[in-house]
Amino acid sequence: MNRQQLREHLLRQRERLSAAERERAAADLGDRLLALPELQHAETVGSYHSIRAELPTHALNLELAQNHRLALPVLHPVVPGHLLFLRQHERTIWSANRFGIGEPALRCPDIIPLQQIQILLVPLVGFDTMGNRLGMGGGYYDRTLASWRKGKYPGLLPIGLAYDLQRADAIPCAAWDVPLPMVITPAKVWDFRP
């Protein structure tokens, strides 16, 4: 399968899960994430709001916000195709971006630079056992993490969140794709670091 065929196949698989199966998977994955030693030392965690049939992150974000500074992505207003991360707090005002995804209203005091995030949770459509990630095709996370891949943010650990059924035998890669050092599923922590 090419990238688009694989993306469509994995999206169909994900959409077949019931709401109860999604919530159970999110709870199991959350337990694995919260037990990670790396998370115990993280002050700031970047996450995202799940959409459609993505693994639900709402309860996990609430849990993370209790012990960490939580940052959520917005479409970068100045650098097209990139993400900017904003601190979520009780005064956060939400609005839908051009894709219909809820994001915090842009306020300069809430901006958290990528170098201040220790763990960044990343959505994905598929992954393989080499850490290669298949996203929705917009390239936002690949562009945002390109500097991390070159070693610019050594204190950052990107972690993909996925259902077990999102693992593929092999993800066809492009030169701009940024592999993940870790993916967590309900059944396993996949650590691809050397």
The predicted-structure confidence for 6-29, as pLDDT tens digits, reads as follows 999 999 999 999 999 999 999 999
Task: Provide the CATH number for the domain around residue 23.
Answer: 3.40.50.10420
The range of the structural domain enclosing residue 35 comes to 3-191
Distance (Å, whole) CA 131 – CA 171 = 9
C-alpha distances (whole Å) from 107 to each of 24, 86, 91, 118 are 35, 8, 11, 21
Task: Classify residue 11 as exposed, middle or buried by CB count within 10 Å of its CB (0-12, 13-18, 19+).
Answer: middle
Phi then psi for 95, rounded to 5 degrees? -150, 160
* Whether 73 contacts 85, CB under 8 Å: yes
Q: 130-155, pLDDT tens digit by residue?
A: 999 999 888 999 999 999 999 999 99
Name the pLDDT band for 84 (thresholds 50, 70, 90).
Answer: very high
- CB under 8 Å to 194, separation ≥6 — which residues? none
Confidence of residue 99 (pLDDT cuts 50, 70, 90): confident
Q: How many domains does the chain divide into?
A: 1
Residue-level pLDDT at 194: 86
Contact 57/87 with Cβ under 8 angstroms?
no
pTM for the full predicted model: 0.94
Residue type, 167: R
